[in-house]
């Protein structure tokens, strides 16, 4: 598999020095550090942020030492919770003690940029337990924190037993508690689900949220080039066969219409707490905002969901909890469904 990933990089003729590199999951931390280093050697040099996702309990001092020598300078730990009962309910294999041990090992090996992922709303999770999760964050002080609200698929085991999932009011309570506690702890809330100590915002994810082109390698990897998105096969068998035949493992792609690009600009722009410049988007896509859209903006501003200073549009703290609904109100039917919003 490693040989094939490197072969894909070679066949792509990708030669632009990246500012960031991200090894995403699956669980790349089960891979030996030497193999990660070989992939990095196949890529153009120059990245200032190289992240690797890791499951607690899969890291060793020897592996971390190799990661460091390879150039990895940011580790994202999939903690999910610091409460063992939460982890058991979520089917996770690690314990809270594993997390603490891993963070101590990361510090000992010289890692100064650690991110922690937590999930709010795990089955039977209570507010008092959620507060203890935040206590651990304040104690360990990772440089970055991502908090995701549990999203339950209807056909999943949890989807068939909704009684164990906290209701929307409890979800909101978890989120508000995190916003208030993390601000007091010195974290900057820079994206709906992400907080960082000053200067430690994830550079890689900021590129996604600002529409910067990116290139992905590996099974199911997606790539983006402003006006086009394309992706690799999700089949291990096809991935292997295509690369062994000297072909890129692509399985699909799409040209992005102005409508799609406009929708995505709003979706990702409003996730950032600083919002986005609506006129920059209009200039890039050649769209005109109609008066009825500005009327909608005024209504949403009066309701307390958004702020608009004539240039930058952003959600208010109250709007963060309703981000999808507010974004939909801004797009449909006042913008995307009318001819004035097209070039």
Per-residue model confidence as pLDDT tens digits over 291-343: 999 999 999 999 999 999 999 999 999 999 999 999 999 998 878 754 344 44
* Distance between CA atoms of residues 43 and 37, nearest Å: 10
- Please give the C-alpha separations between residue 343 and each of 210, 228, 258, 267, 339, in angstroms, as whole numbers: 22, 18, 8, 20, 8
Q: Is the pLDDT of residue 125 over 90?
A: no
**Residues 6 or more apart whose Cβ sits within 8 Å of residue 53:** 22, 23, 24, 25, 27, 28, 29, 76, 78
Task: Work out the pLDDT band at 161, boundaries 50, 70, 90.
Answer: low
Task: Work out the pLDDT band at 169, boundaries 50, 70, 90.
Answer: confident
Which candidate, 237, 204, 245, places its Cα nearest to that of 219? 237
Residues of the chain above pLDDT 70, percent: 94
Q: What are phi and psi of 77, to 5 degrees?
A: -95, 125
Task: Work out the pLDDT band at 164, boundaries 50, 70, 90.
Answer: low
- Please give the C-alpha separations between residue 167 and each of 135, 174, 239, 341, in angstroms, as whole numbers: 23, 11, 41, 37
Task: Work out the pLDDT band at 150, boundaries 50, 70, 90.
Answer: confident
Q: pLDDT (tens digit, 9 = 90+) per residue, 249-286?
A: 999 999 999 999 999 999 999 999 999 999 999 999 99
Confidence at residue 325, expressed as pLDDT on a 0 to 100 scale: 94
* Distance between CA atoms of residues 199 and 109, nearest Å: 21
Confidence at residue 342, expressed as pLDDT on a 0 to 100 scale: 43
Confidence at residue 157, expressed as pLDDT on a 0 to 100 scale: 47
Q: pLDDT (tens digit, 9 = 90+) per residue, 133-142?
A: 999 999 999 9
- Across the chain, mean pLDDT equals 92
User: Most distant CA pair in the chain: distance in Å?
Assistant: 61
């Amino acid at each position: 598999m490693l040989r094939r990933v490197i072969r894909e990089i070679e066949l792509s003729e990708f030669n632009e020095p990246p500012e960031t590199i991200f090894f995403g999951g699956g669980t790349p931390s089960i891979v030996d550090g030497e193999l990660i280093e070989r992939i990095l050697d196949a890529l153009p040099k120059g990245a200032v942020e190289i992240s690797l996702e890791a499951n607690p309990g899969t890291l060793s001092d020897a592996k971390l030492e190799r990661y460091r020598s390879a150039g990895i300078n940011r580790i994202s730990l999939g903690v999910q919770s610091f409460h063992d009962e939460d982890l058991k309910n979520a089917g996770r294999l690690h314990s809270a003690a594993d997390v603490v041990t891993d963070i101590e090992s990361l510090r000992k090996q010289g890692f100064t940029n650690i991110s922690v992922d937590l999930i709010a709303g795990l089955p039977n999770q209570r507010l008092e337990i959620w507060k203890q999760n935040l206590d651990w964050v304040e104690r360990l002080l990772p440089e970055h924190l991502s908090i995701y609200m549990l999203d339950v698929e209807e056909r999943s085991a949890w989807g068939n037993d909704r009684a164990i999932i906290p209701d929307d009011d409890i979800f909101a309570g978890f989120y508000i508690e995190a916003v208030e506690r993390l601000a007091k702890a010195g974290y900057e809330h820079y994206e709906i689900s992400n907080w960082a100590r000053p200067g430690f915002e994830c550079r890689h994810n900021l590129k996604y949220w600002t529409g910067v082109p990116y290139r992905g390698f590996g099974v199911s990897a997606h790539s983006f080039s402003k006006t086009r998105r394309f992706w690799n096969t999700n089949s291990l068998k096809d991935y292997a066969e295509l690369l062994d035949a000297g072909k890129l493992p692509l399985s699909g792609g799409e040209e992005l219409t102005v409508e799609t690009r406009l929708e995505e600009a709003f979706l990702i722009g409003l996730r950032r707490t600083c919002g986005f410049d609506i006129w920059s988007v209009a200039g890039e896509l050649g769209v005109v905002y109609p008066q009825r859209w500005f009327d909608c903006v005024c209504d949403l501003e009066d309701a307390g969901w958004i702020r608009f200073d004539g240039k930058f549009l952003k959600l208010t703290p109250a709007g963060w909890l309703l981000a999808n609904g507010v974004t939909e109100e801004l797009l449909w039917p006042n913008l995307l469904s009318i001819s004035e919003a097209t070039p």
